[in-house]
Structure formats: structure tokens, C-alpha cells
Amino acid sequence: MLMVRTRLGPSAIAGIGLFAAQDIPKGTETWRFMRDFDRLLTERDIDSLPEPARSNILDHTYLDDASGLFVLCADNARFMNHADEPNTGGVHEPGAIEGYDIALRDIRAGEEMTCDYRTFDAHVTLKLGGK
């Protein structure tokens, strides 16, 4: 669940992106997994969906390597695009199903918020084409 104000907009990276709607200081928590809000899906759950729902879910989830579950952010966090030098990054809490993200540097209002898919998505090569 996003912990900061954001908006969606056209992205120079890919289609639609997530943009800060406020200044976000370095170290601020930007997203946190909320069990009663975000969804955890099994591969079987996804495979049971008809197209195009299946493809849409795969485009907007990430596969957690540790749990083997797909995580669907229930808010606009699912529109956060990849960057090799992202402005947000994940923190994993021992014993937690998922962790949380923080701003790795100051993010200005209007700036696209990005993350590095390679650090948390086991299906990263499907999304980035082997990057």
C-alpha cells in the first residue's frame, strides 16, 4: 500500500508511470505490503484466469522468490516502472511475508517513482527481456 501521495501519468520509461504528488525526503517509507489490502496469488490462481485477465495480472504482479507467491499491489503501486538506478528500494523484515520500500534519495513532487525489478521479482527477465 502506498504510504505517500502519488498520481498516475504518462511515463518516458513505459506507458503509464507512478509519480510523486508530494516531495518525499530520502528514507521515507513509500510502500508497505498490507495483507488485508494487497493480494497474494498462487500460480494456480493466475493460471485459472481467462485471457486477457491472466496477462494483465502477470504484467502487474511480481513473483516473490522466497514465498513462490505473486504479489498484486491493490493500489497504483502496480504502475511503478523499473529503473537501473531507482529512487525507491526495498527493505525486508525478517519473518515478514513482504517488506517495505523507502525513498533512496529525495524525490521531488512530479518526479516518476521507480524501483529495480531485479531486486525482488523472480519473473524479472519476462518483464525486462533479459536485462
Condensed to tens digits (0 to 9), the pLDDT of residues 29-74 reads 999 999 899 999 999 999 999 999 999 999 889 988 888 899 999 9
Number of Cβ within a 10 Å radius of residue 46: 17
Q: What is the CATH number of the domain that holds 74?
A: 2.170.270.10
Q: What's the rounded Cα separation, in Å, for the pair 83 and 101?
A: 15
Residue 54 inside a domain? The answer is: yes
Pairing of strands 88-91, 100-103: antiparallel
Total tally of structural domains belonging to the chain: 1
Structural domain including 41 reads 6-128
Question: Please, what is the end-to-end C-alpha distance for the chain in angstroms?
Answer: 27
Residue 85 lies in a domain: yes
This prediction's pTM: 0.88
- Provide the mean pLDDT of the chain: 91
Residues 6+ apart with CB under 8 A from 58: 46, 70, 123, 126
